[in-house]
Structure 1
Amino acid sequence: MKEAITIKEIARQLNISPSTVSRALQDSPRISQKTRDAVHALAGQLKYFPSTTARNLRIGKTGVLAMVLPEIRENFFSEVVNGVEELAFRHQYTVALYQSHDRYEREKQILAVLASNRVDGIMLSVAKESQEFQHIQDLIDRGIPVVLFDRIPPKIEAHQVGCDIEKGAYEATKWLARQGFRRIALLNGPHPLVASEDRYRGYITALLEDHLPVENALIKRVDLTTEDIKQKMTQLLTSAHRPDAVLAFNDYVALDAMQVCRKHGLRINEDISFVSFANLPLNTYLEHPPLASVEQHPYQIGLKAAEILLSITDPKIEGDTISFQQIMLEPELVIREK
């Protein structure tokens, strides 16, 4: 393989100093236009590419932003990544992706590796197993820029970007009530997730406002595995008072639960109806998708998270650097026709 062309080689051929070449490539006004033109022309001829590694070492940066998320295969998180990459690549940053697979110990290990290997900043959505968050606080205490997104742990002072889940659950439950449903069940997520508590509060508030029954038998928590979802949905269907509608933690939970309903001979959106979160694109291909789904704007969440992180790590990028920004996007209830 041919060796990469360096600034020193351009300097040697033009009989000028490497520092002059460097300034000319940056179009410094301290260098004459004639010399700048000559340097750019030779750099193009020799197919010279500047070393971002060398540049980053000079300014004490790595040019790498890390993302730690539960599962990249989930459409929501892949859309967040798209939003982050859009802004990061525009400013010539690399995005490194890490998956916790919803495991606490793996999340801790990843963050420890990132802390010791120097990245310019970290964007994190916590694992469902995580109930203790000192490992996140340790990063912040060390001065490592951290932006928490979507699954945001409680009592951590850090930059945060998410969607108003409580409001989304409230609006979804109110909509079901307006459609005439009276026994609305909740297939919620695991207890440690703040998002699960947000859904619960929005659901309960809407039921109380509409004078609908609040029954523990209609509220089930799932660990987000297919097996547990099917078990909890079966419990709902075999109870003395079967629900006529279900608010599900997300579209994936709704789809698994709908399978159980079909096996029990129920017609989706006729005998029992669903509303959920995430607004997955695949819903448009289903014959009987959930009646409505709460859009959480994952792409915009990614953009905002990257915007905050870049405003902290790169002084050339304009942005609001007020300590610990908390951005909460408005949810949108997307209603589908039967």
Structure 2
Amino acid sequence: MDNKLPTIKEIAKRLNVSVSTVSRALSDHPRIGLRTKTQVQQLAKELGYEPNAKAISFKQQKSFVVGVVLPFIREEFFSQAISGIEAAAMESNYTILFGQSYDDVEREKSVVNAMRKQRVDGLLISLSKETNQYEHLRQLEKYNIPVVYFDRVPPFEKANKVFCNLYKGTVEMINWLLSRGYKRIALINGPDKLSASKERLNGYIEGHSRRKLKVDMQLVEKTDLSKEGTYAAMKSLLSQKNRPQAIITFNEYVHMDAVQYAAQQNILVNKEIVFASYANLPITNYTAHPPLVSVEQYPYGQGEKAMEIMIRLLNGKATDAHENEAVHKEEIPATLVLHQAAVY
């Protein structure tokens, strides 16, 4: 038995009609009569005919593939974002091509270049912690490939991006901690190159300023997001004569490393020193010491919204010449979440 997939030519030969007639009947063209259309579609179904995706892509000048580049797929935050991206993509019959930068800017450039060569229709990206130059992404404009940033977004305005307002979330977090008597609040921030780090620091300063409190910069440390970097930050904070009463960490992964270090120093976590964090990932519910409070960053929603913007941009190519010139910016409000399990 011939195991080859059936073709349009085979259907045309069996029905004694032209290939163009079969093609139009399968695409429900109004110029094809109902009887012929029904015969073609019924035979195609019986033979198990499937359209040639490559041929369709060539004809429409689209691959129906969107590239997604992010730091680590294994991180729960980004896996949730991927789920949101896929859900929105499937609704519009797009598929996703994933790549990881591993938080390395050279790797990010390599992955972006590979996706360009794969002729993706568009690119969604959450920047690496080292990225502060954007030429490798701006070059995609020459190939008419739109870019939408999410979560880790560039600082400039002329960019399609979806992000959580971490500045406002941090101000709210500082206010919450101060209102509960925690006066010495430390911050373990992320790499300087990330705009999200600047937002956290500015929110930290503003939160104190609104209470007419002077910021003690000795309470502000940085981590490169590695365990070693976080341990070094914790060591510096705990070595101070007047230790912090609360510590805000850059994200839940930094939180877990910070708490681990504190426990090793026999600190009673969330009693002697309380911890707060960002992202509100479900994984913290399974840890011995979840943060007392978190800023919810809605990774699923960010991914879903970023893909919806991308679909509008891609559809705009064919319907509105000005669509790609517009900048799409979606700010997702941050929400403060109290973890009851962390209250002892």
- Shorter chain as denominator, the TM-score bin is over 0.9
Matches within 5 A, 1:1-338: 2-155=3-156, 157-315=158-316, 321=323, 323-337=326-340, 338=343
- 5+ residue gaps, structure 2, are none
One-letter amino acid matched to 1:149: F
Q: CA 1:316 to 1:147, structure 2 compared with 1: closer, same or farther past 3 Å?
A: closer
Q: For 1:32-61, what per-residue CA distance to the aligned partner results, in whole angstroms no more than 9, with x for missing partners?
A: 111111111111110111122111110111
Q: Distance in 2 between matches of 1:143 and 1:128?
A: 26
- 5+ residue gaps, structure 1, are none
Q: CA 1:62 to 1:233, structure 2 compared with 1: closer, same or farther past 3 Å?
A: same
SS in structure 2 at match of 1:314 = helix
Pick which of 316-325 and 32-41 moved more: 316-325
Pick which of 217-226 and 2-11 moved more: 2-11
Q: Distance in 2 between matches of 1:40 and 1:316?
A: 31
Q: How far has the Cα of 1:315 moved from its partner?
A: 4.8
One-letter amino acid matched to 1:333: L
State the identity as a percent: 41
Q: CA 1:169 to 1:141, structure 2 compared with 1: closer, same or farther past 3 Å?
A: farther
2:259, 2:289 within 8 Å by CA — same for their partners in 1?
Answer: no
Q: How far has the Cα of 1:271 moved from its partner?
A: 0.6
Q: Distance in 1 between matches of 2:135 and 2:183?
A: 43
1:147, 1:158 within 8 Å by CA — same for their partners in 2?
Answer: yes
1:83, 1:301 within 8 Å by CA — same for their partners in 2?
Answer: yes
Q: Distance in 2 between matches of 1:325 and 1:175?
A: 32
Q: CA 1:312 to 1:162, structure 2 compared with 1: closer, same or farther past 3 Å?
A: same
Q: For 1:258-311, what per-residue CA distance to the aligned partner results, in whole angstroms no more than 9, with x for missing partners?
A: 111111111111111111001110122234310111111111111111111111
Q: Distance in 1 between matches of 2:3 and 2:187?
A: 63
Q: Distance in 2 between matches of 1:168 and 1:99?
A: 28
Q: How many residues are treated as equivalent by the alignment?
A: 338
Alignment TM-score, normalising by the size of structure 2:
0.94
Q: How far has the Cα of 1:133 moved from its partner?
A: 1.8
1:168, 1:202 within 8 Å by CA — same for their partners in 2?
Answer: yes
Q: CA 1:178 to 1:318, structure 2 compared with 1: closer, same or farther past 3 Å?
A: farther
SS in structure 1 at match of 2:177 = helix
1:166, 1:202 within 8 Å by CA — same for their partners in 2?
Answer: yes
